[in-house]
Chains A and B, each alone.
Chain A
Amino acid sequence: MPLQGGVIAISGLVKRFRVDGAELTALGGVDLWIAPGEFLTVVGASGCGKSTLLRLIAGLEHADAGVLSHDGAPIAGPSLARGLVFQEPRLFPWLTVAQNVAVGLENAPLSRAEKALAVAEHLTLVGLSAFARAWPHQLSGGMAQRVAIARGLVNRPDVLLLDEPFGALDMLTRARLQDELRAIQQRAGATTVFVTHDVDEAAYLGDRVVVLAPRPGRIREIVDVKLPARRDRADPRLAGVRERVLRALGEDPGYPRPALVADAAWRRPATLAPAAVLQ
């Protein structure tokens, strides 16, 4: 692979919010180094700071302590080199689907024709070229999310941040887009941070899986996937990754435990868990 950009370095990252006069520590000291071209997936219970972490990397939030840098330069604000797909689609209702994707290129140094081409390509990618002239209110939730993905990708950023992008999709579309995303990521070599609730998805897509713990949000464990880039969903080694991620999550009483884990190693720490979950 050629020498490339896209290194994200995070150290001692703290982010607090004031909620009703009380201080809430959304992220309490996160250290993370993301290699260029790496596909990092992030899992964790609801409210543990996954979106906050992505927004900080994107430059939409400012850290209360710690340092974030992109290729050595401190992150002080948004950059076209870092693309973010929000947890909600956030399409502009007054623009058509194609125009919404073109919003991502508003400040890109491309000609009109190049922009039109890039928009068309990315609409095809998410399977919505027939809907280029539709209005957002005419789309289903999953379609709207795909438009948002196209808008996030259209700039071909070095660093791609995705916040539960496939949450609203059916299984087939989801599987297809997972493979599409992996392929794009391989081709473009974009460093990717992908937040998800789905442990299968995290294991299948990630080079590493970051497991966050809540209150305050921090890294509980980083599971190294160590599988080839081209993956098979039926690969038995994926089950091992899943299990390790689930075990790391399982130490967190806030995370719902899956009922069907027929593994003795998983059961052992679970002696504590049922009561903890019910609290």
Chain B
Amino acid sequence: MIAAPAARAWPGPRRRLARASAAAGLIVPLSLLVLWQMGAHRGWITPQILPAPDAVWAAAADLWDSGDLQANIAVSLRRVAEGGAAGTLAGLLLGAAMGLSPAIEDYLKPTFLALAQVPSLALIPLLMMLLGIGEALKLVVIAKATLVPVALNTHRGIRAVPADYKEVGALFRFSRAQTLRRIVLPAAAPPIFTGLRYGLSHAWLALVAVELLASTEGLGYLLVWGRQMFQLDTVLVAMAAIAAIGLALDRSLAFGEARFARWRAPA
């Protein structure tokens, strides 16, 4: 017998590669930052249009010390958590129902596809009339934004489970429940996870949009407020916070996805 393999999924060289490519990705933003700082200090850009990075940093420190930043982040995160959870749950149920039952697919798919075509932003005016501008509006918009990609990917993932695999189950007399749990679910898990990732990032985008249009708190509101007060440093702090949190949310799900699907061949 030849040497036993290490059954580890991600061998060393790939990790090193990932780190190298992450470093490469930092070159552009760091150069821009340096250019921005230089431009601001040499008077190329007026602070009324674009405050210098150190001014933005100072504004961030002020916002942090006053607790405003944390409070607004907490509001935004809570909204995403609530709306996202509702949308994810509904999306998983809807996608699974359409994926597993052709009859349900026939009934619901056209309506669902039509809804999917309407940008979440475009729903806001109508929903404002129905729900007012309270928390319900934000929840519904975020939930809708999450639901669409989750349902779509769940549906497609279940549909794409190879018939060959189900035949193996049939051969060993798997019950319907066994086929679902042992074959359909694991085979569809990677696309479903992809759907969850899209769902979360859509939820975050929808959150900022709805907070821009109709809110008195949250990161989107901070953005609007900063603009109205001509505090561009506040605007930039809010933007940076939105980007950083969005990225962190996506990365954490990507990490979970990689751990979850460790059986997959390195692409």
Residue in contact with B263 in the complex, picked from A60, A131, A135, CB distance below 8 Å = A135
| Interface size grouping (class) on chain A | 20 to 34
Query: Roughly how many angstroms separate A137 CA and B267 CA in the complex, as a whole number?
Result: 11
Q: Do A78 and B186 touch across chains, with their CB atoms under 8 A apart? A: no
Q: Do B165 and A133 touch across chains, with their CB atoms under 8 A apart? A: no
Query: Roughly how many angstroms separate A90 CA and B261 CA in the complex, as a whole number?
Result: 18
Instruction: Please report A residues at the B interface, Cβ cutoff 8 Å.
Output: 58, 60, 77-80, 84, 86, 88, 90, 92-96, 103-104, 106-107, 127, 130-131, 133-138, 155
Query: Roughly how many angstroms separate A231 CA and B174 CA in the complex, as a whole number?
Result: 39
Q: Measured between C-beta atoms, what is the minimum distance from B190 to chain A in Å?
A: 9
Q: Do B1 and A127 touch across chains, with their CB atoms under 8 A apart? A: yes
Q: Do A79 and B164 touch across chains, with their CB atoms under 8 A apart? A: no
A-facing residues in B163-222 (Cβ within 8 Å): 164-165, 167-168, 170-174, 178, 182-183, 186-187, 189
On whether A90 and B168 interact (CB within 8 A), knowing A96-B7, A130-B4, A137-B265, the answer reads yes
Q: Do A95 and B165 touch across chains, with their CB atoms under 8 A apart? A: no
Nearest CB to that of B162 among chain A residues? Answer: A90
On whether A94 and B189 interact (CB within 8 A), knowing A78-B173, A135-B7, A138-B5, the answer reads yes
Residue in contact with B167 in the complex, picked from A60, A93, A94, A135, CB distance below 8 Å = A60
Given contacts A86-B168, A107-B174, 11 further A-B contacts (CB under 8 A): A58-B171, A92-B168, A92-B187, A93-B263, A93-B264, A93-B265, A106-B182, A130-B4, A130-B5, A131-B5, A137-B263
Question: Cβ of B9 < 8 Å from any Cβ of A?
Answer: yes
Q: Which 6 A-B pairs have the closest CB atoms?
A: A137-B265, A130-B4, A133-B7, A94-B186, A94-B263, A135-B263
Q: Secondary structure at chain A's binding surface: helix, strand, loop or mixed?
A: loop
Nearest CB to that of A103 among chain B residues? Answer: B172
Nearest CB to that of B175 among chain A residues? Answer: A107
On whether A60 and B170 interact (CB within 8 A), knowing A134-B7, A135-B263, the answer reads yes
Query: Roughly how many angstroms separate A137 CA and B265 CA in the complex, as a whole number?
Result: 6
Q: Measured between C-beta atoms, what is the minimum distance from B54 to chain A in Å?
A: 50
Q: Do B172 and A78 touch across chains, with their CB atoms under 8 A apart? A: yes
Query: Roughly how many angstroms separate A80 CA and B265 CA in the complex, as a whole number?
Result: 31
Query: Roughly how many angstroms separate A86 CA and B164 CA in the complex, as a whole number?
Result: 10
| Most central of B171, B178, B183 by chain A CB within 10 Å | B171
Residue in contact with B171 in the complex, picked from A78, A127, A137, CB distance below 8 Å = A78
Q: Measured between C-beta atoms, what is the minimum distance from B202 to chain A in Å?
A: 27
The 20 listed contacts between A and B (C-beta, < 8 Å) are A60-B167, A78-B173, A80-B172, A84-B171, A92-B183, A93-B263, A94-B261, A95-B186, A96-B263, A104-B172, A107-B172, A127-B1, A130-B5, A133-B7, A134-B5, A135-B9, A135-B263, A135-B265, A137-B263, A137-B265
Q: Measured between C-beta atoms, what is the minimum distance from B10 to chain A in Å?
A: 12
Query: Roughly how many angstroms separate A84 CA and B9 CA in the complex, as a whole number?
Result: 30
Q: Measured between C-beta atoms, what is the minimum distance from B64 to chain A in Å?
A: 44
Residues of A within 8 A of B171 (CB): 58, 60, 78, 84
Residues of B within 8 A of A131 (CB): 4-5
Q: Do A92 and B7 touch across chains, with their CB atoms under 8 A apart? A: no
Q: Do A138 and B7 touch across chains, with their CB atoms under 8 A apart? A: yes
Residues of A within 8 A of B182 (CB): 103, 106
Q: Measured between C-beta atoms, what is the minimum distance from B159 to chain A in Å?
A: 18
Query: Roughly how many angstroms separate A78 CA and B169 CA in the complex, as a whole number?
Result: 10
Q: Do B1 and A130 touch across chains, with their CB atoms under 8 A apart? A: yes
